Structure formats: structure tokens, C-alpha cells
Amino acid sequence: PSGTWLLYLPCTWSIGLAAEPGCLPDGHMLALFGIGAVLMRGAGCTINDMWDRDYDKQVARTASRPLAAGDISTFQSFVFLGGQLSLALCVLLCLNYYSIALGAASLSLVITYPLMKRVTYWPQLVLGLTFNWGALLGWSAIKGSCEWSVCLPLYLAGVMWTLVYDTIYAHQDKRDDIIIGVKSTALQFKEDTKQWLSGFSLAMLLSLCMAGMNCNQTFPYYSAVAAIGAHLAHQIYTLDIDKPEDCWKKFASNRTVGLLLFVGIVLGNL
């Protein structure tokens, strides 16, 4: 699913940037983080559905989810979540001590993110902080600690990217969100959405350039950043915020953005 890719790709960026010049990214780590992304994305969805089961009943797109539909009990979902987190812990324990502590620190964000739409119009920002943790973790898993001059700009770029794609995603549900009383950046920005998305995209591109400069990236990397800029510009320019099917199409296309950067990182290293 798109969400799993969007969680996994910042991990691949970080693992790729941490590779030695002339070398491919660590395949073992890419596989390990891939498994971790599937498990943690799943755990995030379970937690989200547990928090939102009463809201989900009132939204056409989510009414068929197992908890909202009454197909499973809250206790069963707790047992399932325990299994997901236990398997994710097994993946985390394969990493160095620094990365284990860093990875464990993200759990508070995973648990609290679904509550944010009840209290702020910026839940997409909290999702960005959560979904891009791999931009820190991938580097530390390879190097043993974070090089903040690279990891922080990369993390910031990921957060800005999440604000772009999840604001687009939120426009699908804005009518239902108003009725049930939850908040989002889509409701905050309204008709000014494209200007905000343009600002977030520019911040993402500048942050990627900073991360690249701080780890001596080469021409293919910056070519990929330019391609990402073109992709985001087209995405924003053609977006129709009042058509849910167009919002979904634009949201899902962000996997291409993440893959472009990963390819640019690998070629830049080589």
C-alpha cells in the first residue's frame, strides 16, 4: 500500500546516503527496514483504528474497517497490535544500541499521532515527524550514530514532503471531517492549499540540497532533486482539491517522488 512505501522510502534515503562513496546501499539493512516498515505501518493503522473506531463509523470511506464495522473486538485488536509490535521489536533488536534507543523513541509519536486531529489543525505535521523517523534511523543503523548535519535536513525534507502529500490526502475527507468535528491542514488551508503546498515543496527541495552538500553528493543526486521539483510542481498545479479521486491519484503518485530520490542517491554515490 502507498502508506507503507511512504514510511519506507525515507529509510532508504538515509541508508543510501550513509553508504561509502562508490558503494551500493547495504542490502541487508534495506530488507530489514522494509520488514520494519510493513510492521510499523500496520501497527500505526491498528492504533489509528482503535482510537478512531467511533469516528470511522461516520465516514463512508472508513465505515467498513474491522473495528468500526464490529467485525473484531477491541480486545482482539489489542492482541493483534501486541503481535505487530513484538515482531517490530525483533527487527529493531537487530540494530546497534544507539539505533535501538532511537527507534524506541518513535513509539510515543506512533501512539499519539491519531489523537492530534482532535486538538490541532496540523495533525499532518505530527504525521510527518512520525513517518520520517527512518531518515534518522537508517543513517544510525549504518554508522552507529546520527550525523546531524545530514540527518536533520533529510528529516526536515521528509516532514515537508509529508505535509504536501497528506494535505492532499486530507482533502478527500474534508466534508466528513467537518461533520464529525476533526481537524486537518486541508480544513486550515482551504482555497489557499496550493500556495501552502508550494511553500512546503520549496522547503523540501532546499533541505535536500543541504543534506546533499553536507555529505558530498554528486550530479545525479541534484538531478533527482530537480526531477522531484518538477514532479511536485506538476502535482500541485494540476491538483483539484474538490475531487476526491484526483486527490487520491496525486497522493499515491508520491511513491514516485521517494523512488526518484533513492535512485538519485544511489547513482550519486556510484
Amino acid at 20: E
pTM higher than 0.85 for the full model? yes
**Per-residue pLDDT tens digits for 87-144:** 999 999 999 999 999 999 998 998 899 899 999 999 999 999 999 999 999 999 999 9
pLDDT level of residue 266 (50, 70, 90 thresholds):
very high
Asked whether the beta carbons of 115 and 84 are under 8 A apart, the reply is: no
- Mean pLDDT along residues 191-213: 98
pLDDT of residue 150: 97
Asked whether the beta carbons of 270 and 217 are under 8 A apart, the reply is: no
Instruction: Give the residue from 103, 125, 95, 102 showing the smallest Cα distance to 112.
Output: 125
* Sign of the dihedral defined by the CA atoms of residues 153, 269, 5, 7, in that order: negative
- Mean pLDDT along residues 233-252: 96
> 75-95 burial, b if ≥16 CB within 10 A, otherwise e?
eebeebbeebbebbeebbeeb
Tell me how many domains the chain contains.
Answer: 1
pLDDT of residue 148: 97
DSSP string, the chain: -HHHHHHHHHHHHHHHHHSPTT----HHHHHHHHHHHHHHHHHHHHHHHHHHHHHHTTSTTTTTSHHHHTSS-HHHHHHHHHHHHHHHHHHHTTS-HHHHHHHHHTHHHHHHGGGHHHH-S-HHHHHHHHHTTHHHHHHHHHHSS--HHHHHHHHHHHHHHHHHHHHHHHGGGHHHHHHHT---HHHHHGGGHHHHHHHHHHHHHHHHHHHHHHTT--HHHHHHHHHHHHHHHHHHHH--TT-HHHHHHHHHTHHHHHHHHHHHHHHHH-
pLDDT at 219 over 80: yes
pLDDT at 265 over 80: yes
Q: What is the CA radius of gyration of the chain?
A: 18
More confident residue, 95 or 58: 95
Q: What is the residue range of 138's domain?
A: 2-269
pLDDT of residue 185: 96
pLDDT of residue 52: 86
CATH number (domain holding residue 261): 1.10.357.140
Q: How many residues does the chain have?
A: 270
pLDDT at 61 over 80: no
pLDDT of residue 1: 85
